[in-house]
Structure 1
Amino acid sequence: MLQKISQMLGVGVIAGVLVAALALPAVGGVGITARNVATSFLNMPSELETPPPPQRSIIYDAEGGVIAEIYDQNRELVELDDVAPVMQDAIIAIEDSRFYEHGGIDITGTFRAALRTISGNTQGGSSLTQQYVKNVLIESATSQAEQEEARETTISRKIRELRYAVTLEQRMSKDEILEGYLNIAYFGDGAYGVESAAQHFFNVSAEDLTLQQAATLAGLVRYPYLYNPRLNPDDAQERRDVVLDRMVQTRAITAEEAEEVKGEDLELDVNTPSNGCMPSDQPFFCDYVVQEIEKNEQFGENETERARWLRTAGLKIYTTLDPDMQQAAQDAVDKYVPRENESRKVAAEVLIEPGSGEIRAMAQSRNYGPDESNLGETSINFATDADRGGSTGFQAGSTFKAFTLAAALEEGMGFGTSFTSGSSTTITGQRNCEGGTLAPWPVRNSSESSGGTHNMVSGTKGSVNTYFADLQRRVGLCDVIKMAERLGVHRADGTSFDNPNTQSNNSFTLGSEEVSPMTVANAYAVFASGGIFCEPQAITRIEDRQSGRTIELENDCERAISEDVAAGVSYLLQQTFRGGTTAGLEIGRPAAAKTGTTDGSASAWFAGYTPNLASAVFVGDPRGPQNYPLRNVTLGGRHYGVVYGATIPGPIWQETMREAVDKLPEEGFPRAPRKYGSTSEPAPPQREADEREATPASVEGGVPDVVGQTREAAVAALEGAGYQVNVAGNPVRSDQPAGTVAAVNPNPGTPLPEGATVNVFLSNGSGAGNASQEPPGGWQLPFDPDSVPAGFGGRRDDD
C-alpha cells in the first residue's frame, strides 16, 4: 500500500501537481511529502546545453563537387522555415497537439505517460519539449553511463527531463523548440532529423514534403523500427492513417483531405547518402583528407576527438582536388595497369601545383576496400606515406639524379662538369652525414656504350650511372642528401636517410631510398616553381557548422633553392626529351622530366613537370618489388619482357599531363643561367685523343644496314666493316622474325670511326611496339640486368 502511495506521489509530481502541492496546507504525511518533493524539484539543475546535434560532414573538390560524405548519424540540419508547414502540423498533431498551448509540462499528457510507465508500458515524454530534452541528453552523452542514464525508464529520469523542460520553455521560443526537435528526432532506417528523413524515404527536401509524405514521417518517431516504411510498409501505412486522423482532429486538414490521402500508396523513393570513402569515386584522395584531419593536432587534442569532430560536426571540407585532372590520372593508370590485373602490379600517380603545394590529383589502379586478398582491392594509398594511410614506399631509381644536379649547381659546378669513365666504376671514400666512411661502391651503366666522357648535359640526357656516381662523390654524399631533404624528400616509412647502420646511402643518387609518389612529385614541383618548396596541401578551408567557425588553411611555403639552381635543373631535365630517355613522351608544351627504373626492373618511375603542374608516376608490385619485378608481365592486354620508366610510367604521365594541362596557360621555362657555362655536350669519346694522335677516319659508308639478318650474319657484317659488336640481351618488339636483327644503334649509315661499338637488338617477333616500349632518340636500350657477370655486385639503374 505504501509503495502504491509513493508511486502515485511521483505521478502527481510529474503531472504538474507540484504547483498545487506548494499551495496546499501541510495536512498529514502526504501533504508534507508533496511539498518536500516540489521543493526538491525546483532546486534541481535546470540549465540544459542544447548544442547542434551530430550531422553529416561533406568533402568537396575544388569545383564544389561532392567527393564523399562522412558521418556517425545521417543528419542534415534545416531551419524551421525550410520545413513544409504540413510536416510541422503532422508532427504536432501526433506527438503534442497542445504544443503551442502548454508550458514546459503538459499536465494531462505527462500524467498519462507516467501512469503507463508505472504499469510497465514505457512512454516517451508527453510533450515535444520533453522529447527534445531527452534526445539532447542522449546526443550530448559522452560516455556509456551517461547514455544509459538518459535512456533509463524511471520516474527520476522523467522528473529530470521535466525540470529541464520547464526552464527550456523560458529560454527558447516554441518555434525554436520545434525546429530543434525536428532536427534531432530519429525517423528510422538510419535517418536522423526531418531533412535527412525526407531525402532518405522520398528523395525530396523537407520543404517539399506532401501531406502523404509528412504524415508517414510523423508517424515514425514513436517506434522507428516498427513503422519503418521500407521494412514494414503495411504497419507504416496504418500508422500514417492514424496521423491523418489526428490532423483532422486538430483541424490541420479536412476529413476529405485525409480520406483522399488514405487511398494513396506510400510511394517511397529510398535514397541513402553514401558514408565514408569506400563509395567515393576518389576514395584514396578522400582517405588522405580524412588522415590529414585525424592526424593533425590543430583539429583536436587526440585522434579520437578529431575523428569524432569529423563525423559529427557537419563540416564542409573544401579541398584542392581538380576533378578533370583527377579523371585524367585515373583513366591513365587504369588503362596501362588495370585494377584487377593477374600480375597484381599497381600504378599510382600524384599531381601537384608548383608554388602552392596543392594536390590536384591522386590516383591509383586499385579498388578501395579492406580485403587485400581480393584481386585489385586495397585500403593502402600507395601514392603517399605510411603515416597518411600509405605504404612504406618504393625505391625511386634515377628520379633522384635531379637532386644531385641541384646540389652540384648550388655548389657552383657548371653544366660542363665532366668525368671520364668506362661502363663501370668503383666509388670509394664516400662519407655519410655522421662522418662515417662507407664501403667501396661498384656501379655500372645500363649500357656498355654509355662509358666515356660525360658532362651534366649528356649525363642527364642518357641517365649515365657512372657519371652521377662521380658527380655525387664530387659534391659530397651528405650534401646531396641535405639537398633532397630541403626539397621535402623523405622516406615513406618515416625513418632517416642517414642511418649509420646501413650502406644504402652509397647509391643515393640512383634512388635506393623508399619514397612515395607524393614526395617525388612535390620535390619536382620545387624546380617548376623556381625554387619554392610548399608542403603538400589537400584542404583549403573547413566550415564547422556545429560551432559556426571557419578554418582557413594557408599554404606553407618557403624558398628552398635559388631561382638559378631551379632553372639549371629544369634546363637539364628538358634535354631528356631531346634525344634522351624521355624522347617520344612530349606533351605539346615545354616540360622537363626524368625516368627511373630500379635494379632488375623492380619498380619503374616517371617524374616530370611544366612550369605550372608537376607529376610523378610509380609502377610496381606492392607485395615486394624485388620479389615480384616488372619482368615478363602482361598488363592491359600487352606483354612486356621488361618494364622501364619510359615503358609504362612514361605513357601514363604523358596521357595524364596532356589532358591535365589543357586547362592551364602554356608557360615556358627560364633560360639556362649563364653562370653555369656552356650547354654543349662533350665531344664523342673517340675524339678525346686528338692531342696524342689523329682521329681515326670514319669507315666508308658508315654502319651497315643489317636489319632483318640473323644474329650471326649481322655480327659478321659489322665486324667485317671494322666495328666492335655488342648484342643486347633482351629481344625487343619488332615486325622482324624472331631472332633476327630488329634495330642497330647508331642507325644504319651513321659514320663511325673504325673500332667503334655498334649495338644490335634482336627481335622477339611479336610485332612493332609503340614509342613507349623502346628507348628513344639514339640512346641505347638497356641490357638485361641478369646478364651482368655473377659476383659483380654493383648497383645498376636501368634508366
Structure 2
Amino acid sequence: MLQRISQLMIVGVVAGLLVAALALPAVGGLGITARNVAAGFLEMPSQLETPPPPQRSTIYDRDGGVIAEIFDQNRELVEFDDISPMMRDAILAIEDSRFYDHGGLDVSGTLRAAVRTMGGNTEGASSITQQYVKNVQIEAATSQEELDHAREETIARKIRELRYAIALEQRMTKDEILEGYLNIAYFSDGAYGVESAAQHFFQVPASELKLDQAATIAGLVRYPYLYNPRFFPEQTEERRNVVLDRMVVTGAITEEEAEEAKKVELDLELDTPPNGCVPSDQPFFCDYVVQEIEQDERFGPNETERARWLRTAGLEIHTTLDPQTQEAGQAAVDKWVPRENESRKVAAQAVIEPGTGHILGMMQSRNYGPDESKLGETSINFTTDSDRGGSSGFQAGSTFKAITLAAALDEGLPFSTSFNSPSSTTVSGQTSCNGGRLESWSLSNAGDSNAGNHNMISGTKASSNTFFAQLQARVGLCDTIKMAERLGLQRADGTLFTENENTLANSSFTLGSEEVSPMRVANAYATFASGGMYCEPQAITKIEDRQAGTTIDIEPECERAISEDVADGTAYLLSQTFNGGTAASLGIGRPAGGKTGTTDGSAAAWFAGFTPQMASAVFVGDPRGPQQYPLRNVTIGSRHFPVVYGATIPGPIWQETMRGAHEGLETRRLASAPGSFGSTSEPRSSDEDDDGDEEASPASDDGGVPNVIGMSESAAVAQLEDAGYSVNVSGTTLRSSEPSGSVAAINPDPGRRLPKGATVIVFLSDGSGRESAGGTHPGNEEWHPVRPATLPTGENSGE
C-alpha cells in the first residue's frame, strides 16, 4: 500500500509539472494553484547549450583533393532547407506528429512515459524537442560520469529534459529545433545525422530523398540497432511501412502514395566514408598531419583534447601535399623497392619546398597498417622523426659531407682548400665541444676517387672520405656538428647532437654516422637551395573549424641559418656531383645539386638533392636493423644486387621523382658560385699516392684497369682478377650495342689507376642496341674498393 501511495505521489508531481508547462504561451494560462505547483520546477536550471554536434573532419591536399576524413561519428551537418520535405514529414509522422502544435512536450505522451518508467518499462520521451535535448546532453558529455547522467533511466532525468525542452522552445524556432534534431539523431549502422544517413543508405543528399527512402530512414531512429538494414532488412522494411501508414494518418501523403512506396524493394548499397588514415591513398602523410595536430599545444591544452577536437569539430584541414610530387615519388619508390619485397627492405622519401618548409611529398615502400609482422605493412613513418610517428632514424652516410662543406665555407675557407687525400689516412687532434681531445681516427676511401690532392671541388665530386675527414678536422668537429644543428638536423629520437657530451666524441660525423630521418636531411638540403633560409617542416597551412566558425592560418616558420654566400657556395659544390662526380648519370635535365651516401658495410644507402623548387632525401635500408641486414647480396623485387650504394637505388628514385614532380614547372637556375670563395678550378690530378702506403700502389703495371668491354663475363672477370682487382658483376643489365651477356661497361672506367684489391663493378649488356645514358660510367652503381681493416667497426664508410 505504501509503495502504491508513493508512486501516486510521484505521478502527481509529474502531473503538476506537466500542468505547469501548459502555462507557456503556446498553450494558455492556468490558475493560481497550477502556478504554485510549478514554482519549484520553473526554478530549475533551464539554459541548455546546443553546440553543433560532432562531425567529420577532412584533410585536403594543396589542390583541394581529399586525402582523408577523420571522425568519431559519421556526420555531415545540413541546413533545414536542404532536407527533403518528405523526410521532414516522415520523421514528424513517426516521432512527434503534434510537434508544431505543442510547447515542447506532448502532455499525454510524457505522462505515459513517466508512469511506465516507474513501473520498470523504459519508454523514451515522446516529443522531438525532448529527444533533441537528450541527444545534446549525450554529445556534450566529456566524461563517463556525464554520459551516464545523460542516459540514466530515472524520473529525475526526464524532469531535467522537460525543463530544458520548455526553455528551448522559447528561444529557438520549431524549424531550428527540427533541423538540430535531424542533424544529431543516430540513424543506425554508423550514420549520424540525416545527411550522412541519406548518403550511407541511398548515396543521395538529404535534399533528394524520395518517399520510400525518407520513410526508411525515419523508421530507424527509435531502435537503430533493431532496425539496422545491414543485419535486419526485413524488420527495416516492416518499420518503413509503419512510417508510411503514419504519414497517411497525418495527411502528409495519400494511401495510394503509401502503397506505391511499399512496393519499392529495400535494395541498399551501404556506403560509409573511409575513416582515418588506413584507407587513404597517402596514409603516412595523413598520419603525419594527425600527429602534428595532436602534438601541437596551439590546438588544445592536452593531447586528449586535441584528438577530440580533430575528430569532432568538422575541421577542414588544408595541407602542403602536392599531388603531382606525391604521385611521382610513390611510383618511383614502388618501382625500385616493391612494398612486399621478400628482403623486407624499405625505401622512404621526403620532399620539401625550399623557402617555406612545405612538405610536398612523403613516400615509402610499405602499406599502412598495424601488423608489423605482415610482409609489406607498417604503421611507422620512416620518413620522419619518432615524435611524429617515425622511427629512431638511420645513419645518413656521405649526405652529411654537405654539412662539412657548409661549415668550412662559413669559416671563410675557399674552394681551393686542399689536402693530400690518399686511399687511407689517420686524422689526429680532433676535439669535442667541451674541449676533450679525441683519439686518432683511421679511415679509408670507399668512393670513386684517385689518390692524390683534392680541393673542395674535386673532393666533393669524388666523395673522398680522406679529404672530408681532413676538412672536418680543419673546420673543427664541434663547429661541424653545430652547423648541422643550425640546418635543423637532429637525431630522429628528438635529441640534438650537442645535448649529451657522450655523443660528441664521434670523429666520423662528416661520414654520416648519426641516426636521422629523411625529413631532416631533405630540409637541410632545402636550406642550401633557399639561399640559407631554414624553415621548419610544415604540413598544414590552414585549419577551418566549422564548429566554432574560426580559421587558423599557419605561416611558415623561417629564419636565416647561414649566409646567402655560404648556402650558394654549398649548392654549387653539390651541383658538381652531376658533372663527372658520383651522381653523373642522375641528372634530371635542369640545374640541381645532390649527394650520394652509403653507410659502413652498405648497411643503408641514401641520396639527397635539390633544385630551386624542391629538395628531397631518399633512404633505402632494412628497418629490422641495417647493420644486421645490410644491402649486400640482396634481391629486391626482381633485381639482384651484390651491393646497393647511394647511386644504385636511392639515386634513381630521386631522379624519377624529381623528373615527374617538375613536369610543367619552369626551369630555374641555381645561384652561381660566389666570388668570395675564389677559383672553382680543380687541382691537377696526381698519379701517385703521396703517403707511400703499399695499398695505394696501382694493382697492375699497365696503367690501370684493363679494358674488358665486349668480352664474355667469364673472360672479363678472369682478366680483371689477374690484374689484381676484386670483381662484382652487377645484377643490373645495361642497354648496349654489345652482344647480350657480354660486358657493356665497367666502373671505374678502363685505364683508371686503383689500389690493390680495389673492386671493379662489371655491367653486362642486355643486347638492346642502345648505349647506356652513362656510357662506360653507369650511374646506378658506384665504385667501392675493399676497405682496409683500419676503418673501425661501426664507422661509416661514406662514398
| TM-score in terms of structure 1 length | 0.91
Structure 2 residue 610 is the aligned partner of structure 1 residue 609: yes
Distance 1:766 1:55 in 2: 60
| Contact 1:86 1:211 survives alignment (8 Å) | yes
Deviation of 1:118 after TM superposition, in Å, equals 2.8
Counterpart of 2:46 in structure 1 is: 46
- Structure 1 residue aligned with 2:154: 154
1:763 shift after superposition = 4.4
Taking the TM superposition and a 5 Å limit, the aligned residue runs for 1:306-321 are 306-321=306-321
Contact 1:744 1:761 in 2 (8 A): yes
**Aligned positions of 1:553-572 closer than 5 A:** 553-572=554-573
Q: Any residues of structure 2 matched to 1:585-596 within 5 Å, and which?
A: 585-596=586-597
Is the CA contact 2:748–2:761 (under 8 Å) kept in the aligned structure 1? no
TM-superposed CA distance for 1:494, in Å, is 1.4
Superposition deviation, residue 429 in structure 1: 1.4
Matching residue of 1:196: 196
1:384-405 Cα offsets, whole Å, 9 max, x none, are: 0000000000000000001111
**Alpha-carbon displacement from aligned partner over 1:402-455 (angstroms, at most 9, x marks no partner):** 111111111111111000132111111111222221221111101596321000
Shift in alpha-carbon separation, 1:164–1:772, aligned structure 2, 3 A: farther
1:5-404 maps to which residues of 2 (within 5 A)? 5-15=5-15, 18-19=18-19, 38-404=38-404
Give the AA of the match of 2:784: P
After TM superposition, give the deviation of residue 544 of structure 1 in Å. Answer: 0.8
1:734-764 deviation line (CA, Å, top 9, x unaligned): 79999998766764578x9xx9999773648
Relative to structure 1, the CA distance from residue 121 to residue 796 in structure 2 (aligned partners, 3 Å threshold; closer, same or farther) is: closer
Change (3 A) 1:515 1:418: same
SS at match of 1:139: helix
Q: Is the 8 A contact 2:17 2:37 kept in 1?
A: no
Instruction: Give the whole-Å Cα distance in 2 for the aligned partners of 1:107 and 1:756.
Output: 100
Distance, in Å, in 1 between the alignment partners of 2:115 and 2:630 is: 75
2:785 is matched with which residue? 783
Deviations 1:455-475 (A, max 9, x none): 000000000000000000111
Please report the RMSD computed on the Cα atoms of aligned residues, expressed in angstroms. 3.0
After TM superposition, give the deviation of residue 228 of structure 1 in Å. 1.3
Give the distance between the partners of 1:777 and 1:86, measured in 2 at CA. 68
Distance 1:207 1:762, change over 3 A: closer
Q: 2:728 aligns to what?
A: 730
SS in structure 2 at match of 1:129 = helix
In structure 1, how many angstroms separate the alpha carbons of the residues matched to 2:490 and 2:315?
32
Is the 1:117–1:123 Cα contact (8 Å) retained in structure 2? yes
- Kept after mapping to 2: 8 A contact 1:97/1:250: yes
CA contact (8 A) 1:441 1:794 kept: no
The 1:34–1:502 alpha-carbon spacing in structure 2 relative to 1, beyond 3 Å, is same
CA 1:473–1:738: 2 relative to 1, 3 Å: farther
SS in 2 for 1:663: coil
Q: Which ranges in structure 1 are unaligned for 5 or more consecutive residues?
A: 24-30, 690-698, 717-724
Could you give the per-residue CA deviations for residues 148-202 of structure 1, whole angstroms, max 9, x where no partner exists?
Answer: 1211111111111101111111111111100110011111111111111111111
Compute the displacement of 1:271 (Å). Answer: 0.2
Structure 2 equivalent of residue 433 of structure 1: 433
Residue type of the alignment partner of 1:640: F
What displacement does 1:502 show? Answer: 4.0
Does residue 1:545 correspond to 2:546, yes or no? Answer: yes
Q: CA 1:400 to 1:121, structure 2 compared with 1: closer, same or farther past 3 Å?
A: same
The answer on 1:636 being equivalent to 2:634 is no
Partner letter of residue 557 of structure 1?
C
Give the secondary structure class of the aligned counterpart of 1:161: helix
- Residues 292 and 400 of structure 1: is their aligned pair in 2 closer, same or farther, counting only changes over 3 Å? same
Shift of 1:627: 0.6
Q: Is the 8 A contact 1:18 1:34 kept in 2?
A: no
**Partner secondary structure for residue 247 of structure 2:** helix
> What is aligned with 2:694?
none
Equivalent residues of 2:740, 2:766 under 8 A apart: no
**Which residue type is aligned with residue 323 of structure 2?**
P
The 1:254–1:504 alpha-carbon spacing in structure 2 relative to 1, beyond 3 Å, is: farther
CA–CA distance in structure 2, aligned partners of residues 625 and 20 of structure 1: 77
What's the counterpart of residue 409 of structure 1?
A: 409
Q: Is the partner of 1:416 in helix, strand or coil?
A: coil
Q: What's the CA shift string for 1:290-337, capped at 9, x where partnerless?
A: 000000000111111111111111111111111121111111111111
Secondary structure of the residue aligned to 1:318 is strand
Equivalent residue for 1:27?
none
Partner of 1:470: 470
Task: Measure the CA separation in 2 of the matches of 1:781 and 1:155.
Answer: 84
Question: What amino acid maps onto 1:568 in structure 2?
Answer: G
Give the 3 Å change call, closer, same or farther, for CA 151–778 of structure 1 in structure 2.
closer
Q: 2:663 corresponds to which residue?
A: 662
Inter-CA distance 746–281: structure 2 relative to 1 (3 Å threshold): closer
CA contact (8 A) 1:42 1:163 kept: yes
What residue identity is the alignment partner of 2:292?
Answer: E
Q: Secondary structure at 1:450's aligned position in 2?
A: coil
Distance 1:778 1:118 in 2: 81
User: Which stretch shifts more, 173-182 or 495-504?
Assistant: 495-504
Determine the structure 1 residue equivalent to 2:453: 453
Contact preservation (8 Å) 2:468, 2:510: yes
| Aligned mates of 1:619, 1:55 — CA distance in 2 | 40
Q: Indicate if the aligned counterparts of 1:727 and 1:760 stay in contact, CA closer than 8 A.
A: yes
Contact 2:188 2:224 in 1 (8 A): yes
Question: Do the aligned residues in 2 keep the contact of 1:578 with 1:777 (CA within 8 Å)?
Answer: no
Contact 1:647 1:773 in 2 (8 A): no
Looking at structure 2, the residues matched to 196 and 780 of structure 1 have their Cα atoms a distance apart, in angstroms, of: 57
How far has the Cα of 1:730 moved from its partner? 3.1
* 1:188 match: secondary structure: coil
User: 1:21 and 1:726, CA in 2 relative to 1: closer, same or farther beyond 3 A?
Assistant: closer
Query: Which residue identity lines up with residue 212 of structure 1 in the other structure?
Result: D
**In structure 2, C-alpha distance between the alignment counterparts of 1:578 and 1:601, rounded to whole Å:** 24
Deviation, structure 1 residue 105: 2.2
3-state secondary structure, aligned to 2:116:
helix
Residue type of the alignment partner of 2:310: L
Written as runs of structure 1 = structure 2, the 5 A alignment for 1:484-523 is: 484-498=484-498, 499-502=500-503, 505-523=506-524
CA pair 598-775 structure 1, distance change in 2 beyond 3 A: farther
Distance 1:519 1:77 in 2: 40
Unmatched 5+ stretches in structure 2: 24-30, 691-700
Letter in 2 for 1:183: N
Distance in 2 (alpha carbons) for counterparts of 1:325 and 1:83: 40
Q: How many Å apart are 1:505 and its aligned residue?
A: 2.3
1:773 offset after TM fit, Å? 13
The residue type paired with residue 608 of structure 2 is: A
Give, as a single letter, the amino acid of the residue that structure 2 aligns with 1:210: K
Partner Cα separation in structure 1 for residue 47 and residue 102 of structure 2: 20
* Identical counterparts, % of pairs: 67
In structure 1, how many angstroms separate the alpha carbons of the residues matched to 2:51 and 2:248?
A: 35
Shift of 1:510: 0.5
Question: Do the aligned partners of residues 260 and 625 (structure 1) sit closer, same or farther apart at CA in structure 2, a change above 3 Å counting?
Answer: same
Q: Which residue of 1 aligns with 2:534?
A: 533
Distance 1:199 1:264, change over 3 A: same
| In structure 2, C-alpha distance between the alignment counterparts of 1:6 and 1:287, rounded to whole Å | 58
Q: Is the CA contact (8 Å cut-off) linking 2:748 and 2:783 kept in structure 1? A: no
